[in-house]
Structure 1
Amino acid sequence: MEGAYGAGKAGAFDPYTLVRQPHTILRVVSWLFSIVVFGSIVNEGYLNSASEGEEFCIYNRNPNACSYGVAVGVLAFLTCLLYLALDVYFPQISSVKDRKKAVLSDIGVSAWEMRS
C-alpha cells in the first residue's frame, strides 16, 4: 500500500519523473510568466513625458496600478521558486503529517492567488 500523499515512496528522487509531472511543468511556466509580468512593468510601465518633469505609470497614470503589478509579479516569482524547491524536496519527506502540511500549503497559496 502506498500510503497517504505518496509517503510509501519517500526517499526516492527521480529528476526525470519530477520534470514530467504536470504541476512541475505548470510551475515553470508560471515562473516564466511572472518574470514577463514583472519585467514588462518595470521596463515599460513608467514613461517620462516631455511636457511633464516626472515619470508616470502608463496604466491610467495611477502609480498604484504599476506598484500592484510589480508586487504580484514578484510574489508569483517567489512562490513559484518556493514550491519548485518543495517539489524537489517532497520525495525525501517521510512524515505523513509534513507531507500533508506541504500539500495543504500549496492548495492554500494557490487558492489565495486565484482570489487576488
Structure 2
Amino acid sequence: NIVISEEKISTYTREFKSWGNVDEIVINGEIETTSSNTEGGPGPHKHQHGTISGTLKGKGTFKLSGTNEWTDDLKVGDMVLLVPTNEHEIFYLVDKVVRADATK
C-alpha cells in the first residue's frame, strides 16, 4: 500500500525545454574537409580544402529541447521518507533521504 513518485521509478523519462545565454564557449579541434568537382559558372571547377585546426570562441544564446532519463532510481537499502494517511492504510513515498550526520 505504498504510493511512489513517478520519477523514482527506473528509467522514468521527462520532456524538457531550455533556453538561455552562453557566456563563453571554447572549442578546440580539427575539421577535415574534402575535395569536390562542382558544375557551375563558366564550366566545371574544383574546390580543394585541407584540415582546419584551431580554437573557436564565442558567446550567444541557445534553445534546446529533448528528453531526460532518470537513472538514480531507488536501490535496496536506501533510506526513504514515508508519510502515512491518518488510518495508516496508505503510505506516500516522498523521496530518498540521508541522515544529516551522514553527509560529512
Q: Which has the larger radius of gyration?
A: 2
Flag the structure with higher strand content: 2
Q: TM-score range by the shorter chain?
A: under 0.3
Question: If the length of structure 2 is used for normalisation, what is the TM-score?
Answer: 0.21
Scaled by the length of structure 1, the TM-score of the pair is: 0.20
Choose between structure 1 and 2: higher helix proportion: 1
